[in-house]
Amino acid sequence: MLSLLQNSKRPGFTSDRLLLVGISQGTMMALHVGLRRKETVVGIVGVSGTLVAPDLLEADIRGRPPVLLVHGTQDEVVPFRSMGLADAAFTAAGVPVEMHVSPGLGHSVGQDGLEAAAAFARTVIG
């Protein structure tokens, strides 16, 4: 992710076109970095992940890009309840958040989650 964000400094590649997408630990990284960057990204998609240290978010936040969280109800690695905890922290910090629930899905992304992410990307990128 660091390499990607460093490359975002290239001419013609601007943060207003940068959508961060992560799955599992990648979600944790995308949420952590994407909300603390000096230059706000266009949005963040997090699949089957969690918001690390939600209690520090309000003190550390530098940008409030829209966030889409996608999570399966049967996730055996990152508990489904993590999505609700992240939603509460984002709402308290003024971060626009959408959630997509994938019923019966484990620690993965299903077709419905991919479609939700694609629709979100079209909306935020334009």
- Tell me the pLDDT tens digit for each residue of 85-120: 999 999 999 999 999 999 999 999 999 999 999 999
Measuring CA to CA, which residue among 33, 101, 43, 39 is closest to residue 72? 101
- Which CATH fold topology does 2-125 show? Rossmann fold (3.40.50)
Cβ atoms of residues 108 and 115 within 8 Å: no
In this prediction the pTM is 0.90
pLDDT digits (tens, 9 = 90+) for 10-28: 667 677 889 999 999 999 9
More confident residue, 10 or 80: 80
